[in-house]
Protein backbone atom coordinates (compact mmCIF):
# COMPACT_ATOMS: atom_id res chain seq x y z
CA UNK A 1 0.00 0.00 0.00
CA UNK A 2 1.09 3.52 -0.77
CA UNK A 3 -0.15 6.47 1.26
CA UNK A 4 -1.45 9.10 -1.19
CA UNK A 5 -2.39 12.75 -0.58
CA UNK A 6 -5.29 14.00 -2.76
CA UNK A 7 -6.43 17.62 -2.90
CA UNK A 8 -8.98 18.04 -5.69
CA UNK A 9 -11.61 16.04 -7.55
CA UNK A 10 -10.44 12.75 -5.98
CA UNK A 11 -11.54 13.84 -2.49
CA UNK A 12 -14.76 12.46 -1.02
CA UNK A 13 -17.64 14.15 -2.81
CA UNK A 14 -15.47 15.09 -5.80
CA UNK A 15 -16.40 14.18 -9.36
CA UNK A 16 -13.45 11.77 -9.71
CA UNK A 17 -13.79 10.19 -6.27
CA UNK A 18 -14.97 6.93 -7.86
CA UNK A 19 -11.35 6.40 -9.03
CA UNK A 20 -10.27 6.00 -5.38
CA UNK A 21 -13.39 5.06 -3.40
CA UNK A 22 -12.45 1.34 -3.23
CA UNK A 23 -9.23 2.26 -1.39
CA UNK A 24 -8.83 2.92 2.36
CA UNK A 25 -9.53 6.46 3.61
CA UNK A 26 -7.02 7.43 6.31
CA UNK A 27 -8.10 10.96 7.20
CA UNK A 28 -7.89 14.65 6.41
CA UNK A 29 -4.58 16.49 6.51
CA UNK A 30 -2.69 19.50 5.20
CA UNK A 31 0.63 19.97 3.49
CA UNK A 32 3.43 22.06 4.85
CA UNK A 33 3.11 25.62 3.46
CA UNK A 34 5.33 24.99 0.43
CA UNK A 35 2.70 24.55 -2.32
CA UNK A 36 0.16 26.60 -4.30
CA UNK A 37 -2.97 25.24 -5.96
CA UNK A 38 -4.37 26.60 -9.24
CA UNK A 39 -7.68 26.19 -11.08
CA UNK A 40 -6.90 24.45 -14.37
CA UNK A 41 -10.48 24.61 -15.64
CA UNK A 42 -12.59 22.17 -13.63
CA UNK A 43 -9.80 20.58 -11.64
CA UNK A 44 -6.83 21.84 -9.61
CA UNK A 45 -3.10 21.52 -10.02
CA UNK A 46 -0.70 21.80 -7.10
CA UNK A 47 2.82 23.15 -7.61
CA UNK A 48 5.77 23.70 -5.29
CA UNK A 49 6.09 27.41 -4.45
CA UNK A 50 8.34 29.65 -2.33
CA UNK A 51 5.28 31.64 -1.18
CA UNK A 52 3.30 28.49 -0.48
CA UNK A 53 0.22 27.70 1.54
CA UNK A 54 -0.81 24.65 3.55
CA UNK A 55 -3.06 22.80 1.08
CA UNK A 56 -6.00 20.90 2.57
CA UNK A 57 -6.64 17.36 1.40
CA UNK A 58 -7.13 13.73 2.28
CA UNK A 59 -4.88 10.74 2.86
CA UNK A 60 -5.65 7.38 1.30
CA UNK A 61 -3.91 4.00 1.41
CA UNK A 62 -3.87 2.87 -2.21
CA UNK A 63 -2.98 -0.60 -3.48
CA UNK A 64 -0.70 -1.07 -6.55
CA UNK A 65 -3.57 -1.54 -9.08
CA UNK A 66 -5.30 1.56 -7.67
CA UNK A 67 -2.09 3.55 -7.90
CA UNK A 68 -1.67 2.52 -11.55
CA UNK A 69 -5.23 3.77 -12.24
CA UNK A 70 -4.51 7.10 -10.55
CA UNK A 71 -1.34 7.52 -12.63
CA UNK A 72 -3.51 7.12 -15.76
CA UNK A 73 -6.11 9.62 -14.52
CA UNK A 74 -3.38 12.15 -13.68
CA UNK A 75 -1.66 11.59 -17.07
CA UNK A 76 1.71 10.84 -15.51
CA UNK A 77 2.95 9.22 -18.75
CA UNK A 78 1.83 12.28 -20.74
CA UNK A 79 3.67 14.69 -18.46
CA UNK A 80 0.71 16.57 -16.95
CA UNK A 81 1.38 15.46 -13.36
CA UNK A 82 4.19 13.70 -11.55
CA UNK A 83 3.71 11.46 -8.51
CA UNK A 84 6.25 12.60 -5.92
CA UNK A 85 6.73 12.74 -2.15
CA UNK A 86 4.50 15.47 -0.67
CA UNK A 87 5.51 17.27 2.54
CA UNK A 88 2.66 17.04 5.04
CA UNK A 89 2.27 18.66 8.45
CA UNK A 90 2.19 15.13 9.87
CA UNK A 91 4.89 13.47 7.77
CA UNK A 92 5.00 12.53 4.12
CA UNK A 93 2.89 10.80 1.47
CA UNK A 94 2.96 10.54 -2.28
CA UNK A 95 0.86 12.91 -4.34
CA UNK A 96 0.54 14.55 -7.72
CA UNK A 97 2.29 17.81 -8.63
CA UNK A 98 1.24 19.65 -11.77
CA UNK A 99 4.10 19.96 -14.28
CA UNK A 100 2.80 22.44 -16.85
CA UNK A 101 2.63 26.24 -16.68
CA UNK A 102 0.10 27.81 -14.32
CA UNK A 103 0.57 31.28 -15.85
CA UNK A 104 -2.83 32.96 -16.08
CA UNK A 105 -4.55 30.34 -13.90
CA UNK A 106 -6.58 31.40 -10.87
CA UNK A 107 -4.99 30.68 -7.49
CA UNK A 108 -7.37 28.45 -5.47
CA UNK A 109 -6.00 29.24 -2.04
CA UNK A 110 -5.71 26.32 0.39
CA UNK A 111 -8.80 24.28 -0.55
CA UNK A 112 -10.50 23.03 -3.72
Where in 1-112 does DSSP place strands (E)?
A: 2-6, 24-30, 35-39, 44-48, 56-62, 81-88, 91-98, 106-107
Q: Give catalytic status of residue 58 as yes or no.
A: no
Catalytic residue among 74, 80, 89, 94: 74
Spatial separation of the C-alpha atoms in residues 36 and 107, rounded to whole Å: 7
Active site residues: 74
Amino acid sequence: MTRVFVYGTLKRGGENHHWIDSQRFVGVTRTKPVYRMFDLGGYPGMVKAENGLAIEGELWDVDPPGLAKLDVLEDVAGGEYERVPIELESGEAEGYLYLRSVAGCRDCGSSW
